[in-house]
């Protein structure tokens, strides 16, 4: 999108952290990048997802936030969670929080009552 979520998370992680936003719509990649550049977010970037979910070639990630609603939890994204990491994703009308233990076990918690735009490939 516009880079708003990426900018927000860049504020949250501060200078010691780094945020990589992944956009599915190519025309919005440049739009989001311009917004990040305009406000000097040196600890954030926006990249095109291409045909995959997330950035498997850069995984694993400590935290993953998916700002679109999936029909099911994509294993492709679960595989990108680092040991000790967490992913929050909307599935249907529920927010799902997945935590991966140091041994790779996934613990999932569901929080119903939320609506997001659909996640598209």
pTM score of the predicted model: 0.89
The structural domains of the chain, with segments of one domain joined by +, span 1-50, 52-121
Residue carrying structure tokens 């997802």: 49
Predicted confidence pLDDT, tens digits, the chain (121 residues):
799 999 999 999 999 999 999 998 888 999 999 999 999 999 999 999 888 899 999 999 999 999 888 999 999 999 999 999 999 999 988 999 999 999 999 999 999 998 777 777 7
| Per-residue confidence (pLDDT) for residue 7, from 0 to 100 | 96
């Amino acid at each position: 999108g516009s880079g708003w979520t990426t900018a927000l998370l860049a504020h949250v992680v501060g200078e010691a952290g780094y945020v990589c936003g992944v956009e599915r719509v190519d025309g919005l990649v440049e739009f989001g990048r311009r917004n990040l550049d305009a406000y000097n977010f040196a600890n954030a970037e926006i990249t095109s997802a291409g045909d995959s979910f997330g950035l498997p070639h850069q995984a694993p990630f400590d935290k993953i936030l998916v700002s679109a609603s999936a029909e099911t939890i994509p294993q492709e994204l679960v595989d990108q969670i680092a040991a000790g990491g967490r992913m929050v994703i909307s599935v249907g009308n529920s927010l799902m929080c997945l935590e991966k233990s140091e041994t790779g076990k996934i613990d999932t918690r569901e929080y119903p009552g939320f609506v997001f735009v659909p996640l598209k490939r």
